[in-house]
Amino acid sequence: MAKEIPVIESKLRGAMLQKVPAEIYQCSGISVFGKRIKSVLFSTDVSIIRNTNADSIIAVYPFTPQPIITQAITMVADVPVFCGVGGGLTGGDRVVVLAIQAEQQGACGVVVNAPTANSTIEKVARNLDIPIVVTVVNDQTDYQSRIDAGTSIFNVAAAANTARIVAEIRSRYPSFPIIATGGPTTESILATIEAGANAITWTPPSSADIFADVMKAYRENAPHP
């Protein structure tokens, strides 16, 4: 018999809460330090991070990582945060230093980019007590060498090829943790879960998109949507 889940909402925050697609909760999840994570919000917007029901945050961005950004996000978030520490433009020992700082600032895991050298991952692994999430963007990745270097979780972000690559990794490593992008539709999310992803990243609407709906309502003298 299904158990009813009591729901408590905020009168103010609940109106615009960014809720991840319900289909995501069909995946198994990954237990990180005793907390089960199924949904991963892909954002560095602190206002959205503070107003979401996602289980965790993946905070990566296209600029060189800066500790002050990590600090801002970890302070605002009320869920675990996986922080980007480079590996592409930013490499070598700087990645190690950024990773150590991220752990000290409260990150529950660090994320390195696809070009990160295995030697760098090994150095990070020797210095950290939190998971190392390694991004996979194509099927040219040597998965075993990544695992041997100290990878804790694969983060598959391969656009239209994501589900296929997830399935490939899962066939070779039946129990290795995989986070993957779910894509824009219910069908793509479910396909990625079916392929073997344990947790799904979801990109929310931008603050500008959300605010556009609010302003449209206000211009029409309508209540807050």
For residue 29, give the CATH number of its domain. 3.20.20.60
Cα distance between residue 102 and residue 57, in whole Å: 14
In a domain, 6, yes or no: no
**DSSP-assigned beta bridge partners for residue 156:** 136, 180
Cα distance between residue 124 and residue 117, in whole Å: 11
Tally the C-alpha atoms within 13 A of residue 41's C-alpha that lie toward its C-beta: 28
Look at 90 and 66; give whichever has higher pLDDT.
Answer: 66
pLDDT of residue 110: 98
3-state secondary structure 68-94: HHHHHHHHHCCCCEEEECCCCCCCCHH
SS3 assignment, position 188: helix
Share the mean pLDDT of the chain. 94
Q: Are 134 and 95 in contact (CB under 8 A)?
A: no
CB-count burial class (<10 Å; 0-12, 13-18, 19+) for 179: buried
**Structural domain tally of the chain?**
1
Q: Binning pLDDT at 50, 70 and 90, where does residue 14 land?
A: low
pLDDT greater than 80 at residue 12: no
Element (H, E) at 166: helix 162-172
In a domain, 151, yes or no: yes
Look at 145 and 222; give whichever has higher pLDDT.
Answer: 145
Look at 96 and 214; give whichever has higher pLDDT.
Answer: 96
In a domain, 224, yes or no: no
Sequence-separated (6 or more) residues with CB below 8 Å from residue 157? 135, 136, 137, 180, 181, 201
Element (H, E) at 179: strand 178-181
Look at 24 and 13; give whichever has higher pLDDT.
Answer: 24
pLDDT greater than 90 at residue 26: yes
In a domain, 68, yes or no: yes
- pLDDT tens readout for residues 155-198: 999 999 999 999 999 999 999 999 999 999 999 999 999 999 99
Pairing between β-strand 81-84 and β-strand 56-59 as defined by DSSP bridges: parallel
pLDDT of residue 4: 85
In a domain, 37, yes or no: yes
Q: Where do we find the tokens 């899962």?
A: 170
pLDDT of residue 172: 97
Domain that holds residue 119: 22-219
Cα distance between residue 147 and residue 51, in whole Å: 34
- Backbone angles phi and psi of 4, in degrees to 5: -75, 135
pLDDT of residue 223: 83
In a domain, 214, yes or no: yes
Look at 216 and 81; give whichever has higher pLDDT.
Answer: 81
In a domain, 41, yes or no: yes
In a domain, 176, yes or no: yes
Structure tokens at 48: 């959205």
pLDDT greater than 80 at residue 22: yes
pLDDT greater than 80 at residue 225: no
